[in-house]
Amino acid sequence: MTEFHGWGRYPRHDSALISPLAPGEVASLYDDADGRPRAGLIARGAGRAYGDAAIGDSATVVMRGLDRIRSFDRQTGRVTVEAGLLLADLIGVAMPAGWFPPVVPGTRFVTIGGMIAADVHGKNHHRAGGFGDHVETLTLALPDGQMVTCGPDHHPDLFRATIGGMGLTGMIVEASFTLVPIQTGWISQRTVVAPDLDRALAALRDAAEATYSVAWIDCLARGAALGRSLVYLGEHATPADLTARAGADRWPPAVGGRFTVPLDAPSMMLNRLSVGAFNALYYKRGARAAGQAMLVPWDRYFFPLDGIGDWNRLYGARGFVQYQCVLPMTAAAGTLADILERVSRAGHASFLAVLKQLGPAHGDLSFPMEGVTLALDLPVSARVLALLNDLDRLVVAAGGRLYLAKDARQSPATFEAGYPGRDRLRRLRHQIGAPGRLSSKLSTRLGI
């Protein structure tokens, strides 16, 4: 038995560890060495889901040994990769050849399998959809030991259930998709200052044409400044943009791991005072730089937190939860104000608070819907968990839902209310013999 936890380091569970080393081994893992069927398996990528999605009910299948690039066509940008490949690795190979993944989340230390299973969204969801929208085919090891290849036109039901399906339809072994061409590794970034929530939402809406958009929100601001934000818009820079910056390396290398958090920080390090001071400074500095476009290297634009190794330890030994909800456009403004108000009033310091605009998604269990998503990090405590239960009610009332890849604590009722595609997924799970065999702590907790 090995103790597993997600990126939030809460909750922690014991699960048996299984590490396949080749694609051909995966399908046979559904039975143990004596040929007896195993129960309660789930695939795990890099463990960047915050909560309990990647912890098997009884055994966890770590897919990192499957990290080979099978093919990469430098003319068309089409790649076929094994599911345990790290996004960081793919970017390292693709970028110098002029290609970039069509969708990336906020960290590059995720696997391609994990990106498909969570149908991850990037700062371009409003235009590009989720990562799942770009998958052309994927190979899946089903619970009956069969390997199938599916895609939008091939076993579409299985495909739709697997995109965003949190590993509950099988283990993804390989996937093919096409990268997008880029001319440099820089992002031309423009900052829009939004002094309150309404103007933040308006700025995101007005930015529908921007390739990338995301808002950092000061979740401790109150009163008239409630929801004040810096909205970052980004475009892939061209070589012409670079001439302004003398000596700029066309493909800047990743600066990863400048600083690693060596120990669990005392949990009081991130308190109202320190985060409040940071937020105020950050907002001021951002406001000063607003207007003019600036060049930002790709890794700092897409993965600002990756520069600090193990930053999840900043929240102390008890861990933290990320609260990420999406709200349909019509209800977004009112409900967001309500949520921010309550978080701010409770005085909980969220070091990271992000707003993004999302478009529709295609997986049965995909998180995105047309609307706005808010993400907050909060240290685990009885008070925080109680506060989040209150926020759940607001989200459900607004017709929104919580992101399963971030979840560690929502109730089955909140899940049921938020995911209309759940029954279709359940039916498909029955068809393929998944119930009992494929289950995570998350799926058991929520009754998926």
Partner 1 sequence: MTANALSKTLLVIGGSSDIGRAIASRYAVAGWQVVLAVRDVAAGTRNASDIAARSGRAVPVHRLDILETDQFAAMLDGLPVLPDTVVCVVGDMGDQARSEADPLAAQRVLRANFEGPALFLGMIAERFAARGTGAIVGISSVAGDRGRASNYIYGAAKAGFTAFLSGLRNRLAGRGIRVVTVKPGFVRTRMTEGMALPGPLTADPSEVGRAVFRAAEQGRGEVIYVRGVWRPLMMVIRAVPERIFKRMQL
Ligand X SMILES: Cc1cc2nc3c(=O)[nH]c(=O)nc-3n(C[C@H](O)[C@H](O)[C@H](O)COP(=O)(O)OP(=O)(O)OC[C@H]3O[C@@H](n4cnc5c(N)ncnc54)[C@H](O)[C@@H]3O)c2cc1C
Task: Please enumerate in sequence order all residues whose Cβ is within 8 A of that of 219, keeping only pairs 6 or more positions apart, or say none.
Answer: 279, 340, 343, 344, 350, 353, 376
Yes or no: say if 372 and 208 are a contact pair by the CB < 8 Å rule: no
Yes or no: say if 309 and 257 are a contact pair by the CB < 8 Å rule: yes
**Range in contact with partner 1 (rule: CB under 8 A) among 13-21, 163-171, 318-326, 357-365:** 13-21
Distance CA 383, CA 118 (A): 28
Binding site for ligand X (CB under 6 A): 7, 42-49, 53-54, 63, 83, 105-107, 110-111, 113-115, 117-118, 120-121, 166-167, 171-172, 305, 405, 440
Whether a cis peptide bond, with omega within 30° of 0, leads into 435 is: no
58 binds partner 1 (CB under 8 A): no
Nearer to ligand X, 159 or 242 (CB): 159
The 75-114 site mask, x for binding partner 1 (CB under 8 A), equals ----x-------------x---x-----------------
- Residue 158's identity, in one-letter code, is L
Nearer to ligand X, 115 or 434 (CB): 115
* Shortest Å distance, C-beta 284 to partner 1: 42
261 binds partner 1 (CB under 8 A): no
Q: Which does 432 bind (CB under 5 to 8 A by kind): ligand X, partner 1, none?
A: none
Distance CA 80, CA 70 (A): 5
Q: Which does 19 bind (CB under 5 to 8 A by kind): partner 1, ligand X, none?
A: partner 1
Nearer to ligand X, 210 or 226 (CB): 210
Yes or no: say if 204 and 336 are a contact pair by the CB < 8 Å rule: no
147 binds partner 1 (CB under 8 A): no
Q: Which residue has the tokens 């052309």?
A: 136
* Shortest Å distance, C-beta 299 to ligand X: 13
* Shortest Å distance, C-beta 71 to partner 1: 6
Nearer to ligand X, 107 or 176 (CB): 107
225 binds partner 1 (CB under 8 A): no
Query: Residue 444 has which token pair?
Result: 């058991």
Interface pick for partner 1 out of 21, 317, 386, 397 (rule CB under 8 A): 21
